[in-house]
Structure 1
Amino acid sequence: MEPTLASAQEVEKPYNGNDIGFTSMLPSHRVDLRQYSEKEYNKFVNMNTVRDWSTLTWKQVGKPYEVTKYSKDRRAYEDTYGEDMKPFTSWKYFNKAFHEWFVKDVPSEMADQKKAFLKSLGTFRPSEIKQALGDVARIQLWNYAHRIQDGVWDPRGKRALFEGLDVTKPRILFLGAAEGYEAMQLASMYPGAHITMVDYDEYCKTTRFEEFPDSYPFLGENPATGHPKVYYKDDLAIDYVVDDIRNLTYGKDFDIVLSVGLLEHFPDEYKSEVADWHRRFLKPGGYAIFTTPRNQIRSRVYYNIMADVMNHTYRELMTLEQMGLYIYENGFDIKQHGYIKVHNGVVAQPR
């Protein structure tokens, strides 16, 4: 089914309720307004596999896999300055590198990289051929992960993780928000939400969030009918705060505190502090939501090949059991959990 264009004046919002079930690959990303079929759900989503978190031990689940291959920019920085790259600096490098991939015209880039590789073969210089081949591999992998599989945003999987929360018009706090995708998906599912996004790199507000496509459709709920409804970024109430999470002065003001890919960037001695960031701002009965990349062969390959784009900071890959055990041992009861394509997800409440 082709998308319905409402009018020339609304071209920046090209999808509406008639397009639910539609999906298409655009030059830089996939639009996906589909629900999971039962077969797809069973393939991509595996929910609530641990019956009793209190029975798990670290001896049983093991420790996370640490990604130790860093980007060439980080290595060059440390060679130049003779010291480890500081966390704030590494996040600035990461955010810029990651965003540059999000805005690529991927089909054009794939064609250009193939031409560059064929040209490199004529040089008979192994270093140039290796570099060109690596460029081909990275753009092909990004195309598969982000456009074909939609594994970075994964709207259907994220909706499966987020569904069923007992909230009405929730206040949502997104820690380490970057472009803010997951909070916008949450707010579409729970209409009337107010989002506060927090990131300490101003680039995330001024570029990653601001350049998030206004035409991207989020599948949510119409509160008047209970039926599916399409939302866009400017339909949502959003504040963006540039600050260090440790400086926030909010009280227990939020129904949902969310982080995506945050916990795995901290060694064990800091994980309890990260967990406490989620607890500190929650109303009684509120929900903390965590996601992390899964420890699986595909993810290890991805972070190895995409090291120059992804690996500026300390990073672990976790199993769902490892992630959940960190959260459980730091004072949360886990209400639902599961893995969705390439991510683990946990919804928890403070004990």
Structure 2
Amino acid sequence: MNVNAGTTAHAGGGSAVGLDQTELTPQYRADLRSHASREYQKFVCLNPVNDWSLLTWEEVGKPYEVKTVAQDRKAWEQEHGSAMDAHTAWTYFNRSFHEWFMKDVPAEIDRSKQNFFQGLKAFRMEEIREGLGEVVRLHLWNYVHRIQDGIWDPRGKRALFEGLDAAKPKILFLGAAEGYEAMQLAAMYPGAEVVLVDYDEYCRSTRFAEFPESYPFLGENPRTGGPQVYYKPDFNIEYVVSDIRRLPFGKEFDLVLSVGLLEHFPDEMKPEVVDWHRRFLKPGGYAILTTPRNQLRSRLFYRIMADVMNHTYRELMTVRQMGLYIYENGFDICRHGYIKVHNGVVAKVR
């Protein structure tokens, strides 16, 4: 079902959001407004670096390492007497993160407030501490994800992804989770074939499977060149559960995408991670990478939301740090910049 103009209902029915409009649902914000609006431009900074060959690590510094660790990771490591392995860490993270994406946030805020005041009334200190922490986390999640729409940020992602020479592209998404950004790309470049890859089966069976089919992606009508709204069922998607290092593909993709992948590996592994994007690209194809920004708000978010987010090694970067990793490992930067909470780089093999 494609919609050329007009409206689309949100999950659970109710009112609808039309082109150039936004609507807040209990789980997320649906946003079909233009990223080119003057109001939104304050969130977008594109191409601040003129010459990547002139940058040095002494000038840009190294990324900020997030060292606050989730409690369930600490408990697992205490039980097993060893550091949590990467695969287990990702399974813990994916389940935790998806639970938050599925929350009816206003209802959960009301429930958490009631629990906090009940604990306060009975003067049960443990319940008071836990309740207060839950209230803070819910309000922060509500602001970052629903109000500001900083995690999905469709307008910012469209600003980063637009203008590519990619007709009916074949898209590979490495570490795809629910596959959001590949679906946004498929809306912008109609006729795309999408292959999502993650080595956690939960991402295919739950995170992707339960992504709301009523969520609207603003893209292009291939016949008219005008705006068109797409939904998850419109896209040609294959989901592969595999370690990236064992994928059977050759250099057959026009776009190779990763979102929040590079920052989970220390410096000695970053050349290999960058090479994963090169390995599957057709000549002339684009590698597209995003990472979380190193800013005070992001540091605060990962500290308060540690039990939800911090199961794996994680860094926060500036766009200059991110781009320099990519440039030094054999890519030329075509476009780069930052949006609300992410850096983005579009690159081609040098």
Sort the TM-score into its range (normalised by shorter chain). Answer: over 0.9
Deviations for 1:166-195, whole angstroms, at most 9, x for unmatched residues? 010000000000000000000000000000
SS state at 1:223 partner: coil
Q: Percent identity?
A: 67
Whether contact under 8 Å (1:15, 1:230) holds in the other structure is no
Q: Which deviates further from its counterpart, 111-120 or 259-268?
A: 111-120
Shift in Å, 1:122: 2.1
Number of aligned pairs?
A: 344
Whether contact under 8 Å (1:13, 1:232) holds in the other structure is no
The alignment status of 1:178 with 2:180, answered yes or no, reads no
Shift in Å, 1:5: 6.1
Shift in Å, 1:121: 1.0
* Aligned position for 1:294: 293
* Aligned position for 2:48: 49
Quote the Cα distance in structure 1 between the aligned partners of 2:270 and 2:173.
17
Structure 1 residue identity aligned to 2:345: V
Deviations for 1:171-221, whole angstroms, at most 9, x for unmatched residues? 000000000000000000000000000000000000000000000010000
Shift in Å, 1:263: 0.2
SS state at 2:240 partner: strand
The alignment status of 1:210 with 2:213, answered yes or no, reads no
Structure 2 residue identity aligned to 1:208: R
* Aligned position for 2:237: 238
**Structure 2 counterparts to residues 89-104 of structure 1, below 5 A:** 89-104=88-103
Whether contact under 8 Å (1:265, 1:316) holds in the other structure is yes
Would the alpha carbon gap of residues 158 and 13 (structure 1) be closer, same or farther in structure 2, given more than 3 Å must change?
farther
Q: Which deviates further from its counterpart, 38-47 or 191-200?
A: 38-47
Quote the Cα distance in structure 1 between the aligned partners of 2:36 and 2:93.
35
* Aligned position for 2:133: 134
Whether contact under 8 Å (2:7, 2:19) holds in the other structure is no
Quote the Cα distance in structure 2 between the aligned partners of 1:41 and 1:5.
22
Quote the Cα distance in structure 2 between the aligned partners of 1:58 and 1:279.
23
SS state at 1:301 partner: helix
Quote the Cα distance in structure 2 between the aligned partners of 1:55 and 1:5.
48
The alignment status of 1:158 with 2:157, answered yes or no, reads yes
Shift in Å, 1:131: 1.3
Unaligned runs of at least 5 residues, structure 2 = 1-5
RMSD value, Cα: 1.7
Whether contact under 8 Å (1:15, 1:217) holds in the other structure is no
**Structure 2 counterparts to residues 61-72 of structure 1, below 5 A:** 61-72=60-71
SS state at 1:44 partner: coil
SS state at 2:20 partner: coil
SS state at 1:249 partner: coil
* Aligned position for 2:3: none
Deviations for 1:313-350, whole angstroms, at most 9, x for unmatched residues? 00000011110110111110000001010000000001
Structure 1 residue identity aligned to 2:31: D
**Structure 2 counterparts to residues 274-313 of structure 1, below 5 A:** 274-313=273-312
Unaligned runs of at least 5 residues, structure 1 = none
SS state at 2:139 partner: helix
The alignment status of 1:267 with 2:266, answered yes or no, reads yes
Using the size of structure 1 for normalisation, the TM-score is: 0.95
Quote the Cα distance in structure 2 between the aligned partners of 1:14 and 1:174.
33
